[in-house]
């Protein structure tokens, strides 16, 4: 009797050792992540796949969508309502623990820049975004990870676990930035698929401002520069001004969609900045170029003669600008000089001027 008892005890210990060894060989990877993460469970003795009701993987009682099942390999997606803790593999009446999974919440920590124009790129930094945004097809049964700007979906340019780069859509408005991770769960019978749901991050505010274009981007002293945009106001505010290279320029016109300025005599190349309502906004940069006159002809002629002046960086002719050129023009045989007296402009190009 003692011998039988001893043999039974040894057999039980062997079976227990086999069972513990089998459980110990199971591995879950990754062991942490947000909902929607694809998880691999590797080990032995999972058995063959029979059906979605008998073959299940549960995260603390929450069933996961099974993508692949082999006796030594199971692939699942972490369900939206998963809870951190042991992950159980079930095959009929057999149940075993495959490891422990820690659920991580998606979180935004920084959005740069915090003020942008539509079409600009924005970098979102944070935690647990996942390795990829997923399929580009928004109709896929597994869904696509998203970034919303005030509820408007933005175009993802780059997606990494801690950093996302998106392009602000043209119809975006000032509001909250939110990252949404798609998580497709199984139906109650374990089959695919329940409607796509999302795990959402915290939000951070982003200010979207109307774009401002300007033309030209370079020119000589006296050049007219036109800023085009919207909501400038019908008249300039008390602190409304434009500067180029840190120097304030003269404003020739200020309307709700257009501002016209002239490059002053003391201008230097640098940032083109709009200041209003106590804030500076850099529109771009303006390059102040030097005007050069290479030749003009004819050298002599009566009053009214058409004179052609060739060179470069003459800019765009503007009646209200400071652009002016003086030439010693001598009338034939009568000793009359034309200098300092405004000529009538016939044609003005950046490299050629015709005047009388």
* Residue 240 falls inside a structural domain: yes
Residue 305: what pLDDT? 82
Checking phi first, is residue 334 left (phi over 0); if not, alpha (psi -120 to 50) or beta? alpha
Is the per-residue pLDDT at 235 higher than 70?
A: yes
118 and 183 housed in the same domain: yes
Average pLDDT of the residues of the chain = 82
Phi-psi domain of 164 (left: phi exceeds 0; alpha: psi -120 through 50; beta: other): beta
Q: Are residues 180 and 253 in the same domain?
A: no
> In this structure, are 82 and 120 located in the same domain?
no
- Taking alpha carbons only, the member of 179, 201, 182 closest to residue 123 is 179
Cis before 66? omega within 30: no
Which residue is associated with the tokens 């082999």?
70
**Torsion angles phi and psi, residue 7, rounded to 5:** -65, -40
Q: Any idea how long the chain is?
A: 356
Q: Considering the chain, what percentage of its residues have pLDDT values greater than 90? A: 45
Residue 180 has pLDDT above 80, yes or no: yes
Question: Does residue 298 form part of some domain?
Answer: yes
Is 320 part of a structural domain of the chain?
yes
Q: What angle do CA 34, 67, 140 make, to 5 degrees?
A: 75
243: domain CATH number is 2.60.40.10
Going across the sheet that includes 224-228, the strands are 213-215, 224-228, 258-262, 250-254
Taking only Cα atoms into account, the Rg of the chain, rounded to an integer number of angstroms, comes to 37
Q: How confident is the model at residue 333 (pLDDT cuts 50, 70, 90)?
A: very low
Among 51, 100, 60, which Cα is nearest to 79's? 60
Whether 331 is in a domain gets the answer: yes
Q: How confident is the model at residue 318 (pLDDT cuts 50, 70, 90)?
A: low
Domains in the chain: how many in total? 4
Dist. CA 347–CA 165, nearest whole Å: 49
Query: Would the pLDDT of 11 be above 60?
Result: no
Question: E strand or H helix at 89, and its extent?
Answer: strand 85-91
Q: Of 271, 288, 305, which one is at a domain's C-terminal end?
A: 288
Residue 3 lies in a domain: no
At residue 126's C-alpha, the angle toward residues 122 and 130, to 5°, is 100
My answer on whether 346 and 296 are in the same domain is yes
Cα distance between residue 248 and residue 39, in whole Å: 60
182 belongs to a structural domain: yes
CB neighbourhood size of 168 (10 A): 20
Q: Residue 331: pLDDT above 70?
A: no
194 and 125 in one domain? yes
Q: Which residue has the higher pLDDT, 271 or 320?
A: 271
| 15: in domain | no
40 and 76 housed in the same domain: yes
Instruction: Look up the domain containing 128 and give its range.
Output: 107-209
Least confident of 39-48, 203-212, 288-297: 288-297
Q: How many other β-carbons are positioned within 10 Å of the β-carbon of residue 149? A: 24
- Assess whether 115 and 203 both reside in one domain: yes
- Spatial separation of the C-alpha atoms in residues 144 and 142, rounded to whole Å: 7
The residue among 288, 303, 334 that closes a domain is 288
CA dihedral of 123, 125, 127, 130, whole degrees rounded to 10: 20
Domain boundary residue among 69, 103, 137? Answer: 103
136 inside domain: yes
Do residue 271 and residue 230 come from a single domain? yes
Which of 39-43, 139-143, 181-185 is predicted with the least confidence, judged by mean pLDDT?
139-143
Instruction: Find tokens 């080990």 and name the residue.
Output: 43
Rounded distance between C-alpha atoms, residue 164 and residue 179, angstroms? 9
């Amino acid at each position: 009797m003692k011998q039988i008892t001893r043999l039974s005890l040894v057999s039980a210990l062997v079976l227990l050792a086999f069972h513990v060894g089998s459980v110990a060989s199971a591995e879950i990877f990754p062991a942490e992540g947000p909902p929607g993460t694809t998880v691999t469970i590797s080990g032995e003795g999972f058995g063959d796949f029979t059906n979605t009701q008998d073959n299940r993987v549960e995260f603390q009682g929450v069933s996961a969508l099974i993508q692949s099942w082999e006796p030594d390999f199971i692939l699942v997606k972490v369900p939206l309502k998963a809870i951190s803790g042991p992950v159980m593999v079930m095959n009929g009446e057999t149940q075993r623990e495959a490891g422990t999974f820690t659920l991580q919440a998606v979180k935004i920590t920084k959005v740069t820049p915090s003020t942008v124009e539509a079409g600009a790129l924005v970098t979102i930094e944070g935690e647990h975004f996942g390795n990829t945004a997923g399929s580009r097809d928004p109709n896929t049964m597994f869904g696509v990870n998203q970034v919303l700007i005030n509820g408007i979906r933005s175009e993802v340019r780059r997606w990494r676990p801690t950093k996302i780069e998106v392009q602000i859509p043209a119809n975006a408005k000032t509001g909250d930035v939110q990252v949404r991770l798609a998580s497709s769960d199984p139906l109650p019978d374990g089959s695919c698929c329940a409607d796509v749901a999302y795990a959402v991050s915290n939000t951070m505010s982003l200010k979207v401002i109307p774009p401002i274009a300007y033309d030209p981007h370079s020119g000589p002293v006296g050049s007219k520069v036109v800023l085009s945009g919207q909501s400038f106001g019908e008249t300039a505010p008390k602190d409304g001004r434009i500067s180029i290279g840190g120097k304030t320029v003269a404003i020739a016109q200020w309307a709700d969609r257009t501002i016209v300025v002239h490059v002053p005599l003391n201008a230097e190349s640098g940032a083109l900045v709009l200041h209003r309502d106590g804030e500076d906004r850099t529109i771009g940069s303006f390059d102040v170029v030097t005007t050069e006159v290479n030749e003009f002809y004819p050298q002599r002629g009566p009053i009214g003669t058409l004179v052609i002046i060739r060179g470069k960086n003459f800019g765009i002719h503007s009646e209200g600008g400071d652009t002016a050129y003086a030439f010693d023009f001598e009338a034939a045989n009568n000793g009359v000089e034309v200098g300092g007296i405004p000529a009538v402009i016939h044609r003005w190009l950046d490299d050629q001027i015709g005047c009388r």
